[in-house]
Structure 1
């Protein structure tokens, strides 16, 4: 192993099963080999006791069972705003026979019997009329800027009004790149960096199909097609906008940021815009690494893996005039996929941290609530409540008003309390009351864009949200990633991927919301806001799943459903729902924890089937399952297949997804004998 490789891959042989060393280096800047960012001594979980803070005075008798709420049935222009619906509904039309787990080294897309799959769009596919066809051996930064980006994560498909289901727009973000398997090693280093930079960002592309029974194809040269690059201007909104904390020599006003980085999961708003979370942005910057803010956000002084600081001064924040560039990333981005001339926004009122994504629901009073998880070991769960209310209708005026809702409001962080605290010892055993459960409260950080944290201004809370949260004593979580409100029941689900540092050394001990020491497999939290009102400051919670392979882990828990009758599942990451409220979970890390390829799983939430996990698909070797979209009314599912063949090299690829061109065979134009991250449709047929 070369010294360069050794420096970039310190997790090689030490990944503890979560990911490959390559993914650790490229995706999250070796976060698991670094010191824990959250060393605060805030009160967490087992230290919080409130005698009057009980389930009864939170919900009242029967409140949860009688809940009726606002949900969004469809979004986008012409689709109207959410309508009130009652609980229940018909069974999902998407019936399937669960697949068996797939060995981690299998390079195949595995789907249920009776279903087939096809890529909707792949890395490198040309988007515009002047885009070159993808040529693996002849790439350039200029070509990549006109092509679909790499490592798609969050995705959504929104119907175009008046198209009768035959036209839509697809949104996808592009989280990070792996140049070692992407581009020929013969290219100049500066060109390689340019290709990687152009493969980041976001994409919007139009889709077409003959009818709703046929699969989608993308439309090259369509008027709404767009790439968002590192040179794309974003408007900064909220308390941080215009503050001295975000001003740079290139932007002395502190209101216009170029590009978005580390985009992971996201969400779709009821007014038809897309939210994308800037997650592992710290790995793109060189910083002095000595301030409390730098340490809390994992910023350091060593050269970055990608070396963009060699080409652009702003990525080396030690340089005069660029000290604040790092403060301009780590936000929720909002994009209008229907207007290719629109300026995207970064909303600082939702806080700056490693956002997995953000998902919006509408409260009974018309205010919008956005939930977001901070994907770092021992970091927190957040929610934002808008000051203003949703404007009904689809007029341009209403849509403009709704697109400002995330610019002003109140930001909260969650604290949990368990009902069985004395029994929690880190082993993961179910408490004697038969559930991991309890109550919680939302602690204010911002109230109507004003600071609620003593000693910190509103701009400081927005920019140094982690430091602000440390001061108020929230619960340290096991990497809360995607957070999704159920559109049928209103309950909120939190995917806690894992935390192998839980309870080790001087790190925070296990608690009832995070009940396992050295948590490899993760868990899923189910949260019910008080009175069914998403703006409430108190909630009840329970653990829906404590993940793992029941054949290997006796503490795996499925809400009481027989453990020998479920599909094994580990490392929950992204969440979605079908039309009748079943939960769908995509995973990230199963190859190292339970030895199987990552996949997509359906979980029943109600009645005798509650906790039943059924595996729908498995992605190829080294890949992660991202961005699930469940169109069960059309018997169709979409996933983004990210980083297939991650552990290969240009000369020795270990995956050929999705084209599967045999080695030594000349690929057709636009194909390649190398892995290409793709958005895939799985449909009955």
Structure 2
């Protein structure tokens, strides 16, 4: 007989002196230790949480219906942004009628299915290892309840995927554990009654179809009722730019002309494929995404859409044309590349390489010396204009849709022709995505250039906000615009969104950046009457602030800004406020061996292809970053370094591959940039930075790509002197500021695109669980008879040999439902 020893107890459950096995013992025999709480991304993290059996009492009860015996997981570990599943078991003589998971400690999370045995949550952002506690309770039919507690330790966010290998496949390749869906594609109808896209060159009415060359994009949330909701993640609007066209695929057998005259129908298609789109998306069952063809929000803004001008240039002679005799109105927007957004929920689309669309030569005698200087500086010098739209003879003689692209001075004055039409482009354009009837507004206070993005700095109440911009051409500049009005937080929810744009974007100071060799920098004001920006300037005599803003490049030249290696996208770290700028590349003719500087330091050769064709200059590009002194958008000085240098992993680590890139993260020609949203773990504490490429220098090795990074901070590296090489064997040294080397933990290749594409445009839903990525111009080198890509048809299997490629949005989700990349 088993000996029983007694001690003091204040509960009559202990009065049973039988040697019968305790309830704990019986349960332990029947139910071994098991996994009760686990990370939803085990395949990626290897984390397995152990389980234990926990009982509500220590020995059998004389009650004929004891409380349930419940189990829950013991402590486990995961990291921010990942799915955690809480699993429980309840054993009772009768049916268990109630389950309840509740959080009892740590940063608050939202539990999914908390009234079932299995609940889950997304691990929150944390700065250091943090413990979360959860209680599980089970209730039986007699009302008896038992509960136990379990803990989960959350570590800071980490890149939680295996790097994608470089490849030249005709699909979007993503890491294991992720899926790709296809969103709206070139030609997809966006209104009722518009025919499905045939994709054979016969389609028309692109004013009600998705445009070509999808570029920068941004998500604007919608509530179930269809109102603005900045935190909505299952229904929203995507505003996407349509930068350019693959002209050959828009027509049955490619573009045509007769005697140098383009057909009206062909030219109209091409024009309407430019601009931007506003399209509603919704998540359906099983996380399947689709755009909503009949949405009342859907809208195309093309180069033919009426627009208005605001700011200092509005109503001046610079904007007066035969169409806008008072200089206040315009038509549409073109060559829209990067973007920006505002806290009041409007979209900023940016007109980039617009100059080449205009026919303008042979009229020098009718132009002033100032005009000729300005036209030359902006590249408005073509004898035909891209695509020859100005040659069209319209069926309606009063229709100036095509004549506007002829910028020659042919009439008696500017009101009789379109000599000033180029001045109507090169602006930042504000669009209200929630109001399809509102005309776009061109914000002239932000200057005229090849705008590549207009990203907001971090807004702080009482401080004047800033917007950061690149000018996408080699040896152009980086700019910022500082509003004249300090930020009022309540304006973020003002329903008159474009009026908020009037308030913050129509008056302020435009600055251009000067990067000093010692890692400091200065913002130089572009203000008429200061320094060389006067009527006595020998190169270009400025007459007014409007003149400075129309001819921003000439003003930046005059004040001595630093010419950069093709400035493109800007992105702002939502935590630190640090500003990142991609410098896509440069060549030896524009950045010679003796023409480097600290911010643009490299000159080298990256041989292309098996023949080893020379590519001297800075063919792989780099990313510069800066931090405003005092961490304020109003600062006039900053610190800077070079965050990453693009390079093949096999290039010289001492002078070319200065960031220590490997086969898992080497890249070339950085272009698109975007930080994770601060509503989820990818945009908090140490936000994830997405880097996209538009590459010609490394496409002998791989298609264009997108990488995920967790960057450090400005000047986390050191000063380094490198040796540059020229084509004749000459060398020269250059000192520069190098950021901390990349590691497998801080930079990984996440995606490789299809053949001949550019990866451009990226945003996520606010919860970070769905990523939208623009795939632009796949198969751009092919012909209608022999396309060189068949994407997106190729994504789901083999496609026919003549299936034409289409720009489209790739929608990427993590199979376990967690935050993408983490």
TM-score by length of 1: 0.78
- Residue 427 of structure 2 corresponds to 331
- Residue 472 of structure 1 corresponds to 559
2: CA distance, partners of 1:130 / 1:94: 45
**TM superposition shift of 1:305:** 3.0
Alpha-carbon contact 1:122-1:678 (below 8 Å) kept: yes
Name stretches of at least 5 consecutive residues in structure 1 with no aligned partner.
1-85, 420-437, 666-671
**TM superposition shift of 1:503:** 6.2
Q: Does 1:445 align with 2:530?
A: no
**TM superposition shift of 1:310:** 1.5
- Residue 707 of structure 2 corresponds to 601
Alpha-carbon contact 2:463-2:634 (below 8 Å) kept: no
Q: Is the radius of gyration larger for structure 1 or structure 2?
A: 2
Q: Per-residue displacement from partner, 1:429-483 (whole Å, max 9, x unpaired)?
A: xxxxxxxxx1000000038x99982222111111111011111000010011001
Alpha-carbon contact 1:444-1:452 (below 8 Å) kept: no
- Residue 340 of structure 1 corresponds to 436
Q: Per-residue displacement from partner, 1:602-625 (whole Å, max 9, x unpaired)?
A: 122139986332100011010000
Q: Per-residue displacement from partner, 1:406-426 (whole Å, max 9, x unpaired)?
A: 11110000001112xxxxxxx
Q: What does residue range 187-336 of structure 1 map to in structure 2 within 5 Å? A: 189-210=263-284, 214-288=287-361, 291-311=372-392, 312-318=402-408, 319-320=410-411, 321-336=417-432
Secondary structure at 2:287's aligned position in 1? Answer: coil
CA distance 1:390–1:452, shift in 2 (3 Å):
farther
Larger RCO, structure (CA 8 Å, separation 6 or more): 1
Q: Does 1:161 align with 2:260?
A: no
Secondary structure at 1:628's aligned position in 2? Answer: strand
- Residue 63 of structure 2 corresponds to none
1: CA distance, partners of 2:343 / 2:530: 26
1: CA distance, partners of 2:433 / 2:690: 25
- Residue 349 of structure 1 corresponds to 445
**TM superposition shift of 1:237:** 1.2
- Residue 141 of structure 2 corresponds to none
CA distance 1:91–1:403, shift in 2 (3 Å):
farther
CA distance 1:491–1:253, shift in 2 (3 Å):
same
Q: Does 1:551 align with 2:650?
A: yes
**TM superposition shift of 1:396:** 2.4
- Residue 22 of structure 1 corresponds to none
* Correspondence for 2:500 among 398, 401, 405: 401
**TM superposition shift of 1:101:** 1.0
**TM superposition shift of 1:93:** 7.4
**TM superposition shift of 1:678:** 0.2
**TM superposition shift of 1:118:** 1.1
- Residue 113 of structure 1 corresponds to 176
Aligned residue pairs, count: 569
**TM superposition shift of 1:646:** 0.5
2: CA distance, partners of 1:126 / 1:553: 50
Q: Does 1:386 align with 2:448?
A: no
Secondary structure at 1:601's aligned position in 2? Answer: strand
1: CA distance, partners of 2:170 / 2:712: 35
Secondary structure at 1:245's aligned position in 2? Answer: helix
2: CA distance, partners of 1:548 / 1:559: 8
2: CA distance, partners of 1:116 / 1:260: 34
Secondary structure at 2:390's aligned position in 1? Answer: helix
1: CA distance, partners of 2:532 / 2:436: 38
- Residue 516 of structure 1 corresponds to 602
- Residue 134 of structure 2 corresponds to none
Alpha-carbon contact 2:427-2:448 (below 8 Å) kept: yes
* Correspondence for 1:589 among 674, 689, 695: 695
Alpha-carbon contact 2:166-2:701 (below 8 Å) kept: no
Name stretches of at least 5 consecutive residues in structure 2 with no aligned partner.
1-124, 129-154, 226-231, 257-262, 365-371, 393-401, 412-416, 536-541, 604-616, 677-682, 717-739, 816-822
Q: What does residue range 131-170 of structure 1 map to in structure 2 within 5 Å? A: 131-137=194-200, 139-141=202-204, 143-162=205-224, 165-170=233-238
**TM superposition shift of 1:314:** 1.2
CA distance 1:205–1:631, shift in 2 (3 Å):
closer
Alpha-carbon contact 1:544-1:611 (below 8 Å) kept: no
Q: Does 1:484 align with 2:571?
A: yes
Q: Does 1:674 align with 2:804?
A: yes
Secondary structure at 1:145's aligned position in 2? Answer: helix
* Correspondence for 2:162 among 97, 102, 107: 97
Identify the range of structure 1 (607-616 vs 196-205) with the bigger mean alpha-carbon deviation: 607-616
* Correspondence for 2:516 among 417, 433, 441: 417
Q: Does 1:125 align with 2:206?
A: no
- Residue 53 of structure 2 corresponds to none
Aligned-residue CA RMSD in angstroms? 2.6
